A and B are shown apart, each in its own frame.
Chain A
Amino acid sequence: QWVLVEMVQAFYEAPAYHLILEGILILWIIRLLFSKTYKLQERSDLTLKEKEELIEEWQPEPLVPPVPKDHPALNYNIVSGPPTHIITVNGKECINFASFNFLGLLNNEKVKSAAQASLKKYGVGTCGPRGFYGTFDVHLELEERLAKFMRTEEAIIYSYGFATIASAIPAYSKRGDIVFVDEAACFAIQKGLQASRSNIKLFKHNDMADLERLLKEQETEDQKNPRKARVTRRFIVVEGLYMNTGDICPLPELIKLKYKYKVRIFLEESLSFGVLGEHGRGITEHFGINIDDIDLISANMENSLASIGGFCCGRSFIIDHQRLSGQGYCFSASLPPLLAAAAIEALNIMEDNPDIFQTLRAKCERIHKALQGISGLKVVGESFSPALHLQLEESCGSRENDVKLLKRVVDYCMNSGIALTQAHYLEKEEKCLPPPSIRVVITVEQTEQELDKAASLLKEAAQSVLN
């Protein structure tokens, strides 16, 4: 007889409770098969008393560690009065070689009167972010003027120079995107990159071969995973004139690399805006490059324009995005109108007097030449860069001692009437810490005698301190 027929017969003949029990067992098996694996919960086996003991015993670190009294960054120089060409530092009157007032607009009467007019009309603060009644007609005017000056479609203003590039980068580059950045990039760029959570690839300072190597490596990676490569954005972030080393980035080669490897370029022009180029438009004018080739130019208005804040300019396609996703733009109060008016007037002066840029560059060349040959100190920076560094030719062993030695040079100069400063960095936070240096800033207001005096004083100081 067939086994199947027997089974079916047995099925019909079985008592009811038997069938029900079997049914329940089958359903239970199905449930166990499909239920999730049982996770052990984070159950602590500590009793209440033990927990209270742990809470009693725990001792946190102090909120901040104590700072030694002689830390070089703790005691600030006190400047009484305006930080203009002649500056009173710690009670001594000196010639100012330390403020980034490249075009001398800090003390300009026209700029001040434009700011005064704005103060009379609007008061000081804007009392709101741009989205909520904080957009004033001066802001709109400044944005238009900046866009026209730089010959781009649109510009956007921030109320703080540091926040400009630090908010612009995370607005475009997100987790999973790749950013190639120069080693000598300034701290604001580093913070922007950290906030963006993208993959950062550092290339050696101004070394295009190193950058090309990284780009090629990325290309081979892409070929392994083309689907991912199609959605990973790539950016190169460079500065026009580097703050940390005073040299210029090779923009024409970068443009070639841009089109070859399909990477977008973000250019940070804080030092080169209002310095390089025939009309002061920055490094793109210096090299004669079409401004549309650069995706985003960001600069702060605190150097050449002698105001506060920063701006980004570029095509509307790119800039408009920051109006809703730039953190420093949406969640922060807008720039006080008097500072915007000061910036507009400074732009007017820049447009009306295009020869000041040539004058500034000539002065930079002069002092660059004059500072060559100081025993013990070497000049770091391009000959036309208005902010150069003087580093020790040979270090005395530790960074602390180098800093102390340079401080003695700076003090010698300050006592004799030239105000200088060391370049300050946060030693533990920087990715690639530059060596300690004295920062020398050249402005249009300094006369040739003053430049010569500064050079000879530095020679003297180096002689007496370093030998």
Chain B
Amino acid sequence: INHIVHNGGLYKRPFNEAFEETPMLVAVLTYVGYGVLTLFGYLRDFMRQWKIEKCQNATEREEQKDFVPLYQDFENFYNRNLYMRIRDSWNRPVCSVPGAKVDMMERVSHDYNWTFTYTGRVIKDIINMGSYNYLGFAQNAGACQEAAAKVLSQYGAGVCSTRQEMGNLDKHEELEKLVARFLGVESAMTYGMGFATNSMNIPALVGKGCLILSDELNHASLVLGARLSGATIRIFKHNNMQSLEKLLKDAIVHGQPRTRRPWKKILILVEGIYSMEGSIVRLPEVIALKKKYKSYLYVDEAHSIGALGPGGRGVVEYFGLSPEDVDVMMGTFTKSFGAAGGYIGGKKELIDYLRTYSHSAAYATSMSPPVVEQIITSMKCIMGEDGTTVGEARVQQLAENTRYFRRRLKEMGFIIYGNEDSPVVPLMLYMPAKIGAFGREMLKRNIGVVVVGFPATPIIESRARFCLSAAHTKEMLDTALKEINEVGDLLQVKYSRRRLVPLLDRPFDETTYEETED
């Protein structure tokens, strides 16, 4: 399925998203693969139960053996038999700043991933394509780090109180004004954790008698927030505007399920960039629908803030729309700003309400001061207020890297999902064995990638995911691409049946980029 919408009314730039279909043979082989693994899983469980094989799980205490078992055996079947085999691809310990190159502690397992031991060696200078470092602000030197160090020595690391009690520092007020200015909204409020921003504020905005329309592939924090609110949740197909419109129409015409009373309000939950698919939300169409049906829009820009748009202001700027059209703009500081925490921006009434009734303001500790300072400095850098053009250069560099990397991968013949402009690049692997193999082979060649399988993705659509960064130079990308090419040939993951015609072999320079910009 290939959607290219050129200047069709609402879109001011081409919206090019592609999700190539799974080849039939590959799908069948993947299912066969999972079937074989499940059979072996049953066999091993049988052997463990009959003590033929040693059971290496931790077990319940002797005194509590007659309590109701804490875990059902079947729940952990997937864990024990499939996840455990390739467990070394995740939770890799890092021991340096997570920039473009990272150092990792070497770990080995002598009992097939049940336990790990650290050899003490450090693998240096691994090209990091797994950390969410879109604008390269994960640095341990430079203006941001120095400012954070100064604030740390002045304020200390913790705060020890909630926002409503004694934890509202002048730094927090400064940050909130800056965030509001950055986004172009009336005011903003910040929280200590991005996940908690969603799960604690959606319940404050909607309650029983309201309707939430949420995208199929929304993040766990949005799903948790929607559930905790007590509102009715309806799901529309991923990025599918016809599905959303149908749900909106039905909701307004028929009202609440059995009583037929009209809904109090309707909230649409979408994300800016979906991190597993690499797709960008069709914001112009969503806003048009929202206006037509008088509902409210909540955009979670966790991955898109700083990464999209010519000024790094996120998905709203990318489409050239006004921030006033989005009722609640939420985002996190973890990805593009190299810090931690989340924010919500919107009209002043909204933020006043959240300051009074948000769960986080009343019960959770406020953000740590050095983290706040890091956000302030990096945000000023992106806006150009620190007097340099470093921020602007980084945003442009990220966009260049994205286009180059995606184009080269498609030329090589891999199946890549998602929008052309999204810095999250999923590469399809499909088969369970290739998940582990891809991760390990890339690590042998000194490149760190993230591989994901079930349950974060549908069972046959396992993938490797690359996160590009403005800190990656062209040499690093070329090295990575060469290695990916090798590993792709070795593992035979070049499934794409549409060969893209490679652009004319001209050197990639400034003029090339300006042509594709509008």
| A contact set with B: CB distance below 8 Å | 42, 44, 46, 51, 54-55, 58-67, 71, 73-74, 76-84, 87, 89, 96, 98-101, 106-107, 111-112, 115-116, 119-128, 130-137, 140, 159-163, 172, 186-188, 191, 194-195, 229-234, 259, 262-264, 292, 300, 302-303, 305-308, 315-318, 320-321, 323-324, 327-328, 330-333, 335-336, 338-339, 342, 419, 421-426, 429, 439
Contact = CB atoms under 8 A, between A and B. Distances in A.
B355 interface: yes
B496 interface: no
Given A76-B168, A231-B68, A125 B138 contact: yes
Interface string B349-377: 11011111101111111011111001000
Contacts of B508: none
A100 B158 CA distance: 10
A328 B193 CA distance: 9
Interface string B151-175: 0111111111111111111100100
A259 to B, nearest CB: 8
B349 A64 contact: yes
B67 A58 contact: no
Contact of B156 (A63, A82, A136, A424): A82
A132 B130 contact: yes
B428 to A, nearest CB: 18
B233 interface: no
Nearest to A325: B75
Contact of A60 (B70, B140, B169, B264): B264
Contacts of B137: 125
B338 A137 contact: no
Contacts of A303: 160
Given A55-B249, A63-B327, A188-B363, A123 B195 contact: no
B340 A119 contact: no
Contacts of A229: 68
Given A46-B253, A65-B353, A187-B363, A127 B334 contact: yes
Contacts of B59: 317
Interface in B123-160: 128, 130-133, 137-141, 144-145, 148-149, 152-160
A336 B167 contact: no
B314 interface: no
Which interface residue of A305, A308, A315, A424 has the most chain B CB atoms within 10 A? A308
A121 B96 contact: yes
Nearest to B132: A127
Contacts of B158: 101, 106, 302, 305-308, 339, 342
28 contacts: A54-B252, A55-B249, A55-B293, A58-B294, A60-B266, A63-B265, A64-B205, A65-B353, A73-B357, A79-B167, A79-B169, A107-B156, A119-B140, A120-B141, A120-B145, A120-B149, A123-B97, A131-B90, A160-B364, A195-B228, A315-B58, A317-B60, A327-B220, A331-B221, A342-B158, A421-B161, A421-B166, A426-B357
Nearest to B163: A76
B340 A159 contact: yes
A424 B162 contact: yes
B131 A132 contact: yes
A115 B363 CA distance: 25
Enumerate the 6 nearest inter-chain pairs by beta-carbon distance, A residue then B residue, closest first. Answer: A160-B193, A64-B353, A332-B195, A317-B58, A76-B168, A342-B157
A19 to B, nearest CB: 46
B133 A127 contact: yes
Contact of A233 (B60, B70, B138): B70
Contacts of B393: none
Nearest to B455: A324
Contacts of A61: 264-265
A60 B263 CA distance: 7
Contacts of B160: 83, 99-101, 106, 302-303, 306
B476 interface: no
B95 interface: yes
A163 B195 contact: yes
A305 B158 CA distance: 9
Given A119-B370, A123-B338, A187-B363, A163 B205 contact: no
A181 to B, nearest CB: 17
A188 B368 CA distance: 20
Nearest to B148: A124
A130 B154 contact: no
Given A67-B352, A187-B363, A130 B91 contact: yes
A55 B368 CA distance: 47
B92 interface: yes
Given A292-B61, A308-B368, A439-B165, A131 B193 contact: no
B67 A262 contact: yes
B163 A133 contact: no
Contacts of A331: 195, 219-221
A132 B97 contact: no
Contact of A73 (B159, B164, B263, B369): B164
